[in-house]
Amino acid sequence: MRLTVIGTGYVGAVHAACMADIGHEVLGVDVDAERIAALATGRPPFFEPGLSAMLKGAVEAGRLRFTTSPAEAARFADTHFVCVGTPQDPRSGAADLRYVEAVVDGLAFHLRDSEYERVLVVGTSTVPVGTADRLTDRLHAAAPDAEIAWNPEFLREGCAVQDTLRPERIVAGFRSEHAEARLREVYAPLLAAGTPFIRTDLATAELVKLASNSFLATKISFINAMAEICDATGADVLTLAEAMGADSRIGPRFLAPGLGFGGSCLPKDIRAFVARAEELGRGESVAFLRQVDEINTRQRSRTVDLAQELVGGSFADRSVAVLGAAFKPCSDDVRDSPALAVADAVRRRGAQVRVHDPEAVDNARAAYPALQFALDVAKACEQADVVLHLTEWPQYRELDPAALAAVVRTPAIVDARNTLDPVAWRSAGWTLRAPGRPRLG
């Protein structure tokens, strides 16, 4: 079938490529002409494992093309996926819906002359509950026969292709059997492979993503709060997390103590959830999420303080190497990156900072031009007084601590992600500090 995907950022570009890969004819739409030009040649404008080959294959096969024209999109198909962002409003913390609204308004305008009898607009963006109802009213003002459904995405950057083609579930909120049938047709190959299809109303579909992300954020902040208690008592947070995770009611995933979460989803989503709950008069129901947010933010200052302790109490005239710039491994996304927040805080305290990352250096340099960057680990660590391990790229776990000790001025490291082997590093002469761990070296 024919589909459009409106918005070709992290979610939209992956969704468009994957829908073409499973056999649909797809038109990707964006207002960014430069991005569209790159995608039209099969080049994704960001790093995502597996996407480049899939995108190029779909473009070359003729199943995927791109445009900047909303009118062309309205003519192309009767099913439109809205994949634009909902950034945080810096004043209120609420979700900024201007891009979603602009897409729906633009479609509504062009659908007035559509040859299709029934049009389905499918939202995937993370929005406050009640948004779909409001957008339906806007859509119906110009296109009375069009319908809105909500199909939240659950993609993890670094695993987005896999998460699209082999999702743990597909959640779809709608009002009609027609919308359900259309979505089941879209996802037919995935459903045939056994993916659960959870049908629901619009409000529940909108809530699922926010509730899920809030739960995951809470789990991360909980174990980081336990790391603070472990620091005060001499207990080991990794053993604590292992013992907790062995309980089937809790499970081990997201019990990873360290620098905390960042990126474009979890931080803004929990703040938007709180803002919407307060609008509904139910702010007390999710008030704990403010503490979740505070605990997460505190991990950054705790990491800076730990590094400052290792350099003798002051960063003045000190050289600091930072391993990691992306907010998570297997991505070049630096939005709300804890690693870069720490690097910049260290710089502002007087240190000379050099940052390395396997994929995110260009984006990091654009976001933090005052920092210095290096394209290899040894250069970043040259004559460093302390090394900060801030993004858990697998390449960093494979480093030879003895070889790196010969490069730095002082063999001292903060493992803010708790993923390095402390025995190997200590045996190579390093002093290692990690949140919630007994002191090593």
Catalytic residues, by residue number, are 265
Rg (CA), the chain: 24
**Residue 299: CB atoms within 10 Å:** 25
Q: Report d(CA 375, CA 437) in Å as an integer.
A: 30
Which amino acid makes up residue 31?
V
HSE-CB at 369 with a 13 A cutoff on CA atoms is 1
In 3D space, the residue among 388, 406, 259 whose CA is nearest the CA of residue 311 turns out to be: 388
